[in-house]
Structure 1
Amino acid sequence: MAPPAPPKSSQGQVMNNARIHFFSILLALQYGAQPLISKRFIRREVIVTSSVLTCELAKVICAVFFMAKDGSLRKLYKEWTLVGALTASGLPAAIYALQNSLLQISYKNLDSLTFSMLNQTKIFFTALFAYFILRQKQSIEQIGALFLLIVAAVLLSVGEGSTKGSAIGNADQILFYGIIPVLVASVLSGLASSLCQWASQVKKHSSYLMTIEMSIVGSLCLLASTLKSPDGEAMRQHGFFYGWTPLTLIPVIFNALGGILVGLVTSHAGGVRKGFVIVSALLITALLQFIFDGKTPSLYCLLALPLVVTSISIYQKYPYQVKKKES
């Protein structure tokens, strides 16, 4: 006698978990390979703002294509409102824009090692805001897994930054223009990630639609900054595509697809899971550097590998269990 078919809700959960794993693996591969692809195909002369704006345009095109393919584009035309877009995507986009500005200030006033280690605190703040905004609780085991992940991220940061130079400046400059900006940026990153998850899971805002809206808002902010920025002056003097070659489109489009995947992972699995994916991607970068450049992974990287694997395993195996009240 054949076993009974599993309930539809169970089948849906299995399909959703499979989808989450698939998107997470693709995002880890994209995030891990992006530095090597960018290094090979983007020349030094390329103006950063031009590549970022082109990437945002590519995100919008990809998202529109996927929405047209799944049939949600026609529904969007009937139901989209400006107020709904600003509520769901406007605030996270503005927060991310402010976060990026703070990171740029901090990066100039801290050595790479200190910057990278402090930047990993965004994983903790993402979990914290997920609790306050979404009431997404973590089990004791998951909290321990988050701690292991942060330790692994710090080890990877040490390996990445051990050969870099140190910051130049006095103690006050390092504190007010280095440490404080990166910590505020980490708080903002956790807040924006949780707001995106809230919009997609509570407000049922499509991840593709959020990608489009946030890309447009972010591009408008970036265009406004070119009025006074060195990149804006360079584009006015040399042209928008100065230094570009046909190969420059490869990392730009690759990065755009990564932005789509970030939205999918956040909407289906949450910002905390995205933190696991990004830290795992650092190990993929080290592996690809060894394969293509012959650069041996550092001792810190080898120590971080079992920590990342263990933390991911624990986090997935021991989810928070809702306690049923006795009747």
Structure 2
Amino acid sequence: MNSRILFHSILLTLQYGAQPLISKRFTSRQVIVTSSVLTCEIAKVICALILMAKEGSLKKLSKEWTLLGSLTASGLPAVIYALQNSLLQISYRNLDSLTFSILNQTKIFFTALFTFILLRQRQSIQQIGALFLLIMAAVLISIGEGTAKGSGTGNPEQILFYGIVPVLVASVLSGLASALCQWASQVKKHSSYVMTIEMSIVGSLCLLASTFKSPDGEAIRRHGFFYGWTPLTSIPVIFNALGGILVGLVTSQAGGVRKGFVIVSALLVTALLQFLFEGKPPSSYCLVALPLVISSISIYQKYPYRVKKKEA
């Protein structure tokens, strides 16, 4: 299982790291975001069904699946993730990239907090220190990104209530949803493939409901669902769908906290790929963050929480 977790984590790190470059290269500015997201969710469902059919669990699903069990395991996390994504969109428009990226990293802390509350999954002192090292690395990478892109200014009240507050609430929701997914997979023994399918369907329904009054919905009605698409646009969509399945596998096998390590490591992969394919050298902040990420992963793996005799 450890080798499987490592394999899926490496694949997810590469997917997360390469996704920004692939999306930038193969998705034109004319593509409507909602059409891309909905297509990605459909691709997730198809990929999950193919993988379930390959491992022979599709027939078992038809006999054991219940609506109540589905809503309990996947319905709430899906709604939470949909709300989180909406809050992030609001925040991103009202914060400079540096502030947004730094505040968005607090979801690692909230994931650890909610896994303790819901699953009683404790962290050793060394693991807590490793989490702080990871957050420091994420902050350094965010500073490097923000320095490159520059910072914007605006109304202080608007920045607070429409920028800082939404991204912090989104981080809390992200930690809660990640812990709920881990609870469903590890306690309720809900298959990660089934959760991917259920959450994609619920998320798509929420997104479709939003199109009645959203600018994207208006654009779809005016120009068509696949406006701005080319045959190459499907590449980042499928790549993102596979990443969604890997997220489910890593969360169910290793937990939401370890997924945070993957996400921060992927930022370094993005910086490396930008240097290789675009000639953009990584910032000094990224170079400092690299040993921090390696150290935090090593410490977190090496010093797991040990149950004391009295607790046992």
TM-score (norm 2): 0.98
Partner residue, 1:225: 210
Letter in 2 for 1:139: S
Q: Compute the RMSD of aligned alpha carbons.
A: 1.1
Asked whether 1:80 is paired with 2:46, we answer no
| 1: CA distance, partners of 2:155 / 2:242 | 41
Task: Could you list the structure 1 runs, at least 4 aligned residues long, displaced by more than 4 angstroms after superposition.
Answer: none
Letter in 1 for 2:225: F
| 2: CA distance, partners of 1:174 / 1:278 | 26
Letter in 2 for 1:184: V
Asked whether 1:186 is paired with 2:167, we answer no
Secondary structure class of the residue paired with 2:305: coil
Secondary structure class of the residue paired with 1:85: helix
> 1:219-277 CA deviation, whole Å, 9 max, x = no partner?
00000111111111111111111111111111100000000000000000000000000
| 1: CA distance, partners of 2:102 / 2:262 | 17
Q: Would the alpha carbon gap of residues 326 and 268 (structure 1) be closer, same or farther in structure 2, given more than 3 Å must change?
A: closer
Asked whether 1:204 is paired with 2:189, we answer yes
| 2: CA distance, partners of 1:190 / 1:322 | 24
Identity of counterpart residues, as a percentage?
83
Letter in 2 for 1:253: I
| 1: CA distance, partners of 2:256 / 2:215 | 33
**Aligned equivalent of 1:156, options 141, 152, 162:** 141
| 2: CA distance, partners of 1:252 / 1:112 | 24
Alignment of 1:266-281 (within 5 A): 266-281=251-266
| 2: CA distance, partners of 1:49 / 1:172 | 29
| 2: CA distance, partners of 1:183 / 1:244 | 34
Letter in 1 for 2:247: V
Letter in 2 for 1:37: I
Partner residue, 1:34: 19
Partner residue, 1:303: 288
Asked whether 1:117 is paired with 2:102, we answer yes
Q: Would the alpha carbon gap of residues 238 and 202 (structure 1) be closer, same or farther in structure 2, given more than 3 Å must change?
A: same
Secondary structure class of the residue paired with 1:308: helix
Secondary structure class of the residue paired with 1:67: helix
| 1: CA distance, partners of 2:69 / 2:12 | 28
Partner residue, 1:140: 125
| 2: CA distance, partners of 1:120 / 1:86 | 29
Secondary structure class of the residue paired with 2:270: helix
Secondary structure class of the residue paired with 1:249: helix
Partner residue, 2:232: 247
**Aligned equivalent of 2:276, options 291, 294, 312:** 291
What stretches of structure 1 of length at least 5 have no aligned partner? 1-15
Letter in 2 for 1:119: N
| 2: CA distance, partners of 1:326 / 1:254 | 44
Counting matched residue pairs gives 312
What stretches of structure 2 of length at least 5 have no aligned partner? none
**Aligned equivalent of 1:89, options 69, 74, 83:** 74
| 2: CA distance, partners of 1:114 / 1:164 | 12
| 2: CA distance, partners of 1:178 / 1:243 | 30
Letter in 2 for 1:128: L
Partner residue, 2:302: 317
Cα distance, 1:167 vs. partner?
3.6
> 1:262-317 CA deviation, whole Å, 9 max, x = no partner?
00000000000000001000000000011001110000000000000000000000
Asked whether 1:260 is paired with 2:245, we answer yes
Secondary structure class of the residue paired with 1:19: helix
TM-score (norm 1): 0.94
Letter in 1 for 2:191: S
| 2: CA distance, partners of 1:69 / 1:316 | 32
Cα distance, 1:326 vs. partner?
9.7
Cα distance, 1:163 vs. partner?
2.7
Higher deviation after alignment, 184-193 or 167-176 = 167-176
| 1: CA distance, partners of 2:224 / 2:289 | 44
Secondary structure class of the residue paired with 2:149: coil
> 1:62-110 CA deviation, whole Å, 9 max, x = no partner?
0000111111110110010100000000000000011011111111111
| 2: CA distance, partners of 1:247 / 1:172 | 42
Letter in 2 for 1:57: I
